[in-house]
Amino acid sequence: MKLSPRTIRDLAQMICGSHGTANKYQWSNFIYRSSSELTEFFVYSCELDYRHDGSTRDSWVISVLTELNESNSSNTSLPSDKIIRVIIELLTSVADLQSDKHIDAVKDINNSLKHSGLGIKFEQEKYKFIILNTGKKSVFDFETDNIKSESKSDFFCQQFPAGLPFGIAKPDFRIFSEKGIQKLQFELKSGMGILIKDVYPNFNFRKLEIAFGVDEFTNVALKKALVNMNQTQFEKDFLIKYAKTFKMAISDIPALLPQAWIQWHSQPKKDLRSSGSKHSDELYRIDFVAFWNNKRYAILIDDIGHYGKKQNNIWQANEENYSKRLKEDRKLRKEGWQVFRVSNWEIRNEDLMAEILYDLKDFIGF
């Protein structure tokens, strides 16, 4: 079955968090989602590859839901599996972020679903869809395993099919053929690590130990390696201070992975610049990445050269360099990264360093 255009419109407004007197229903029970948060909702919560393109939020979500409405359903009496996934994740986000509004949010959803001959209820920690027929109701349990096609671990493999390399040196790789299919494989070398799987929903230091086959008694080399993988002393200081402040090695908090290679080109950047390539200014390596609450975080520590230009031995603000940083942030957010950027100047200040660490803690939410 297909949802009605009215239901699609209502659901789009709930996902966006739209509310106000102009609507028949005020969606105050649903959180507001910005452009990047809409991308997070569809890509990370719903595991659907829809990234907001900067257009009007409501209209964009309506177009996405309209497309999903036409996709396959494992039960012809219910909407498509992907639409069901979106509805469940929408309600789950309310339960997780503002549980006091969950009951009213279910009511809002029902007020909209009734226009499509549907209802939903929440019993014994499960959602059940109700088919509203004349004189009777048919109830269908919502089973997560029947709807979602991949786990969060599989989702990391989708994002990084060959793994996520980290470390200062540019990764080496080989492209080979296996059973008629071309594949890429990173080659391990000194001072480099590769994250392969078992990352989401949370990646802490214990998971890192498991990934590299060590434990709390044999992890000294791993700790030293993480510090040595940093490019600058400021980055080393930041990692050490983070690890000591929040006891990263023994606490259930995000592990910071230094110098993560999220993309790069086979040619050197100087050659790309000389040829006028559009890829010459792309950000290849992120100072630190973290994976927490089914989200991925990019933490960048900038020196003065990221924003200024040296002229006659004096650093001056430079709009071109500053604009490059803004462009990097936009690209990262578009790709689903949560961006946290600080400066060397802040790292040098002991008081500011402490403030930054707790700002990061609040930003990630641990």
CB distance 208 to 202 below 8 Å: no
Domain end (from 99, 121, 147):
147
- In this structure, are 142 and 232 located in the same domain? no
pLDDT digits (tens, 9 = 90+) for 268-293: 888 888 888 877 778 889 999 999 98
Residue 148 predicted with pLDDT over 50: no
- In this structure, are 143 and 156 located in the same domain? no
Confidence of residue 22 (pLDDT cuts 50, 70, 90): very low
pLDDT at site 316: 86
pLDDT digits (tens, 9 = 90+) for 45-55: 888 989 999 99
Average confidence (pLDDT) over 336-349: 93
Strand 126-133 and strand 172-178: the pairing is unpaired
Question: Quick one: what percent of the chain has pLDDT higher than 90?
Answer: 42
Average confidence (pLDDT) over 87-106: 87
Q: Give me the domain span that covers residue 91.
A: 5-147
- In this structure, are 285 and 302 located in the same domain? yes
Residue 21 predicted with pLDDT over 80: no
- In this structure, are 175 and 111 located in the same domain? no
**Joined tokens for residue 167:** 């470390």
CB distance 119 to 110 below 8 Å: yes
Q: Of 15-29, 97-111, 152-166, 327-341, which gets the smallest average pLDDT?
A: 15-29
- In this structure, are 94 and 179 located in the same domain? no
- In this structure, are 143 and 164 located in the same domain? no
Q: Is the pTM of this model over 0.85?
A: no
- In this structure, are 60 and 164 located in the same domain? no
Q: Which residues of 276-315 are buried (b: 16+ CB within 10 A; e: fewer)?
A: eeeebebbebbbbbbbbeebbbbbbbbebebbeeeeeeee
Average pLDDT, the chain: 85
CB distance 245 to 256 below 8 Å: no
- In this structure, are 42 and 88 located in the same domain? yes
DSSP string, 265-278: -SS-HHHHHHTT-T
CA-based nearest residue to 201, from 128, 290, 261:
290
Task: Determine the 3-state secondary structure of 32 from DSSP.
Answer: coil
- CA–CA separation, 93 and 102 (whole Å): 9
Average confidence (pLDDT) over 156-175: 89
- In this structure, are 93 and 123 located in the same domain? yes
Residue 236 predicted with pLDDT over 90: yes
CA-based nearest residue to 12, from 2, 27, 22, 24:
27
Give the orientation angle of helix 81-97 with respect to helix 57-69, to 10 degrees: 130
- In this structure, are 30 and 117 located in the same domain? yes
Q: How many domains does the chain have?
A: 2
Q: Determine whether 230 is exposed, middle or buried from the number of CB atoms within 10 Å of its CB (0-12, 13-18, 19+).
A: buried
Helix (H) or strand (E) holding 177: strand 172-178
Confidence of residue 18 (pLDDT cuts 50, 70, 90): low
- In this structure, are 12 and 114 located in the same domain? yes
Domain end (from 92, 122, 147):
147
Domain end (from 147, 173, 191):
147
